[in-house]
Copies of this chain bind each other. A is one copy, B any other.
Amino acid sequence: MNIYDVSAKAGVSIATVSRVLNGNPNVSDKTRNRVLEVMDELGYTPNVFARGLGLNTMKTVGIMCSDSSDPYLAHAIYYLERELRANGYDSILCCTGSELVNKRQYFELLLSKRVDAMILAGSKFVEIDSAEDNNYIIEAAADLPVMLVNGYLDAPGIYSTVCDDHDAMYQVAHRLLQSGRRQILYLYTSHSYSGMNKLQGYKDALTAHGMPVRQELIHRCAKDLGEAKELLLSLADSGLTFDAVMTSDDSLAVGALKFAHCRKKSIPEELSIVGYNNSMLSYCTDPEISSVDTKIESLSIITVQSLMKVFGGGQVPGKSVIKADFVQKQTTDL
């Protein structure tokens, strides 16, 4: 079942069939209809390989993410896939984990599949500590568009769409301070671009309020609610006091809440807790956790829209920023 079968049965040349297939206007309505009819009768489907061979594109973009089972990234994948498909593009998904070697290897693999663009979802793809480790991305961007969702890298062919994490955290800290909190513990999971921005927002808010940045209030912790809880228990046992906890991820906030329950702290009076990403997790607990909505749907939509503009030869800024929303629930009274 190929273009020859259709052309034979319709009594036209393959060129004409191809024209019909591609919406070329230089076909008479009569011919077009006959061809379409035959295609329908024969249940003809064009062969994507043959098409790809000629055009060297398969209307497919590669999506990389470190872990599709993370709620935030799972949503990102969902929206990205939906938007790409709405624009006629398939997506090949690749979950890389967080090892640089694997990220590199999967990146190469997707390139070898001749994807039309790459989307790197999540802030885990830009190395902060060793800039040269990002070179493989920058080099690839010379050949095809690379879209960063919630990550930033300044190079030709790389387009970032990020949430203003700095501002989000600045606002949260600002409002906590305004409401009288004085010892805000800060828990974060990673040294990513996004992670550093969040932390800086927290620090800048303290400074703006004339408060010192106290290192003993800033702690890194695995993205695991059990570990977050244990960390807080041991910090409290060591004599550290705090009246609020800001976290870079909802899972840490859940851990903080478990700590509060464990130590019978009243919430939000004795301890305010703020999560990040406003995921399902923040709705599961009792009380529900106030959290920052990072607009992953908007982020994803803008990413795909930008990509389509790039494909169309349009001008796209190297960085698009959207604002986050603070969603007040029951662990704060701001």
Contacts and interface: CB of A to CB of B under 8 A. Distances in A.
Interface of A: 45-50, 52-53, 56, 58, 60, 67-69, 71, 74-75, 77-78, 81-82, 85, 90-95, 111-114, 225, 251, 254, 257-258, 261, 280-281, 283-286
Nearest to A283: B225
A114 B68 contact: no
A94 B81 contact: yes
A92 B114 CA distance: 14
Contact of A56 (B49, B75, B78, B112): B49
Nearest to A284: B284
A14 to B, nearest CB: 16
Contact of A114 (B48, B77, B85): B48
A113 B90 contact: yes
Given A47-B53, A74-B74, A285-B286, A93 B95 contact: no
A317 to B, nearest CB: 28
Given A53-B47, A225-B283, A280-B281, A69 B58 contact: no
A47 B78 contact: no
A286 B56 CA distance: 55
19 contacts: A45-B112, A47-B56, A48-B112, A48-B114, A49-B50, A49-B53, A50-B53, A68-B74, A69-B71, A69-B74, A77-B93, A78-B95, A92-B92, A92-B93, A225-B283, A225-B284, A254-B284, A261-B286, A284-B285
> Is chain A's binding surface mostly helix, strand, loop or mixed?
helix
Contacts of A113: 48, 90
Given A47-B56, A93-B93, A284-B284, 14 more contacts: A46-B112, A47-B53, A49-B49, A49-B56, A49-B114, A50-B53, A60-B92, A68-B77, A68-B81, A69-B74, A69-B77, A69-B78, A251-B280, A281-B284
Contacts of A81: 68, 93-95
Which of A48, A68, A251 has most chain B Cβ within 10 Å? A68
Residue among A47, A258, A280 with most chain B CB within 10 A: A280
The 9 closest A-B pairs by CB, nearest first: A49-B52, A74-B74, A49-B53, A284-B284, A69-B78, A68-B78, A45-B112, A69-B75, A93-B93
Contacts of A286: 257-258, 261, 285-286
Contacts of A60: 92
Contacts of A53: 47, 49-50, 53
A226 B228 CA distance: 27
A71 B294 CA distance: 19
B114 A47 contact: yes
B92 A90 contact: yes
Contacts of A112: 45-46, 48
